[in-house]
Structure 1
Amino acid sequence: MPTVRRHALALLAACAALPAASLAGGQPQPVPTLAAASDLKFAIEEVAARFEKETGHRLRLVFGSSGSFYAQIQQGAPFQMFMSADEDFVFKLHDAGKTLDRGRLYAVGRIGIKVPAGSPLKADGELKDLAAALKDGRLHKFAIANPDHAPYGMRAREALQHAGLWEAIQPKLVYGENISQTAQFATSGSTQGGIIALSLALAPQVARLGDFALIPADWHQPLKQRMVLTKDAPPALRAFYDYLSTPPAQEVMKRYGFEMPKD
């Protein structure tokens, strides 16, 4: 496997495992912990690095599926801030008395089809070639995030249902634990492609690993991404929560394809 691809896949694999490394590096330190949906892997690492440089506050970043984090926080996991890819998980946590308030919408995400170099599939946002590949035998394996707990997997399922492909494609599906692992599957050559987050597809490490095309936004429910603080969130995370609404932070988020919420 080429060095570039190995490097990119290692980055994706890193955010599929828990926990992620602290920005501080070195030995574990008592720094505040942020649980973030894995579509944020590249964007939030960049924003957090800027925040640390400007404020001196170190943050521990952990990436995974929003549904898994929801369950862990319900059970008392020590996360003091949660950035979910689906706002419903935040609302449920608030209703259960686990958060400071109902949080704040920080972005709207998008999905698209990613195919690796050499795939027999075309990166076609309307999934017409995917439909043809199901019929002519070109498609053997196709990756989406697990729709049981990963919001990006839920939206992928909705898009496939919209295209009339869900029933036919189910035997071919390979489920990623979260959208980062799904991107790893979709770019490694172990599948012919997959449906991944635009925010991951735009990262240079992933963009060079094949072709990508956006799926129409009206093919699925919007990916309204909401963040929230827990009641014991320390000052550093409260500051980061506010920092995400500043122009420098939003500039990074837009560069990774996120739509900013309207006031």
Structure 2
Amino acid sequence: MRRRFIPALVALCSFGLSSAHADEVQVAVAANFTAPIQAMAADFEKTTGHKLVSSFGATGQFYAQIKNGAPFEVFLAADDSTPAKLEKEGEAVADSRFTYAIGTLALWSAKPGYVDDQGAVLKGNSYKHLSIANPKTAPYGLAATQVLEQLGLTQAVAGKLVQGENITQAQQFVATGNAELGFVALSQIYKDGKVTSGSAWVVPAKLHEPIRQDAVLLNKGKDNPAAKALLDYLKGAQAGQVLTAYGYSR
């Protein structure tokens, strides 16, 4: 039986440069990295002549799809354990894995002034709903639960949690007012050194395990020049500038 793979969010990142030698690369991209990879796409195509076809979703969901034969050639995960697991299981090219970004977690509200710069709002009872991504499939959701545990708030907020399947949905719950605040990826609300809307607390890294986001070349991309070019591009200076603009580090 042939399986169909329908990621939650799909974007075609192509910008019109044609080349007789151009190739496309099918990329599974963790939802938190949506804006950065879209910002990189035009420069990547201009620089290499290759095109990105990017699908966005939760890392855990992509793992299941890759195991079931999805046509992805490169995986940009939101953690380092899932790519390592795929490599160990023979689904990825050995020694192709590396950390392309280190993510930052933020507590965010669409309301200006609602979230203070120390996150003290979490300990108050002024909110009814707190949005997080599914901690079983989304590393940023797992990090959020670790923060709550470190702050001793796990039981106190249990009845307030609204869970998105990925970090994009978690952010949308807050953006639409279905949750007063939520844990999101800083990259979703940050650009060029400032929070772009609402109010936020940048969560100290010491409150959760590092969000090391690894890239890996999947078996289906081992003979595709565009796949290898993308991995090289992610290690370069241009990609580094985009990472910084969206609040990531390396």
Partner of 1:10: none
C-alpha contact (below 8 Å) 1:150/1:178 kept by paired residues: yes
Matched, 1:178 2:172: no
Matched, 1:114 2:105: no
Partner of 2:81: 88
Counterpart CA distance in 2 for 1:55 and 1:238 is 11
Alpha-carbon shift at residue 73 of structure 1 (Å):
0.7
Counterpart CA distance in 1 for 2:143 and 2:116 is 17
Counterpart CA distance in 1 for 2:71 and 2:208 is 33
Partner of 1:259: 249
Partner of 2:24: 31
Counterpart CA distance in 2 for 1:160 and 1:52 is 41
Alpha-carbon shift at residue 203 of structure 1 (Å):
4.1
Look up the SS of the partner of 2:70 in the other structure: coil
Matched, 1:129 2:117: no
C-alpha contact (below 8 Å) 1:43/1:256 kept by paired residues: yes
Look up the SS of the partner of 1:191 in the other structure: coil
Counterpart CA distance in 2 for 1:85 and 1:41 is 11
The one of 226, 229, 234 equivalent to 1:244 is 234
Matched, 1:146 2:134: yes
Counterpart CA distance in 2 for 1:40 and 1:93 is 20
- Please list the CA deviations of residues 50-79 of structure 1 after superposition, one character each: whole Å capped at 9, or x if unmatched: 101222211101111111111111111110
- Please list the CA deviations of residues 167-211 of structure 1 after superposition, one character each: whole Å capped at 9, or x if unmatched: 11121111111111111112221111101111112148x944311
Partner of 1:168: 156
Counterpart CA distance in 2 for 1:51 and 1:197 is 23
Higher helix share: 1
C-alpha contact (below 8 Å) 1:126/1:216 kept by paired residues: no
Counterpart CA distance in 2 for 1:60 and 1:207 is 28
Counterpart CA distance in 2 for 1:116 and 1:197 is 14
Look up the SS of the partner of 1:70 in the other structure: helix
Aligned amino acid, residue 104 of structure 2: R
Alpha-carbon shift at residue 21 of structure 1 (Å):
2.7
Question: Aligned residues, how many?
Answer: 234
C-alpha contact (below 8 Å) 2:13/2:41 kept by paired residues: no
Matched, 1:157 2:115: no
Partner of 1:99: 92
Structure 2: tracts of 5 or more residues without a match: 1-6, 17-22
Q: TM-score, normalised by structure 2?
A: 0.88
Counterpart CA distance in 2 for 1:125 and 1:166 is 21
Aligned amino acid, residue 23 of structure 1: S
> How large is the Cα RMSD of the aligned pairs?
2.0
C-alpha contact (below 8 Å) 2:29/2:56 kept by paired residues: yes
Aligned amino acid, residue 21 of structure 1: L
Alpha-carbon shift at residue 220 of structure 1 (Å):
0.3
Aligned amino acid, residue 78 of structure 1: P
Partner of 1:4: none
C-alpha contact (below 8 Å) 1:42/1:203 kept by paired residues: no
